[in-house]
Structure 1
């Protein structure tokens, strides 16, 4: 899960730095902080998932893997200019 989290952070950062019009449509507070607020949200999702898996919710690892797959797909669409 930790490695998936690193990948999610890298993709998230790449999308934020891409200059894509969707990034420009972020709400004012998230945009003014350079996207750091969205990275904090990404961290909180990873932290919650890791804590829950460590406390016996092992099925949640598959949910986080699915979440990561959606992140990969959306980042690919945005970075390749398909969206």
Structure 2
């Protein structure tokens, strides 16, 4: 199987298309690696989003406890 890529000469900045001959097994291996990398990226995104939600909730609870904000102020902010 032939796959297309780019080769860039860092001194001149010139880019050219290159083709690489790889076996079907190597192609499947690269596809699997790319799929795993994408899944890991999505998982990290989900974790980060959840972490931010938890931190926001904890911060609100702390501010309420300390009396620095009220429930009415929270509902106004959404």
Return the index of the structure with the highest Cα Rg: 2
Relative contact order, higher structure (CA 8 A, sep 6+): 1
TM range (shorter): 0.3 to 0.5
TM-score for both structures, normalised by structure 2 = 0.37
Bigger proportion of residues as strand: 2
TM-score (norm 1): 0.36
The structure carrying a bigger helix percent of its residues is 1
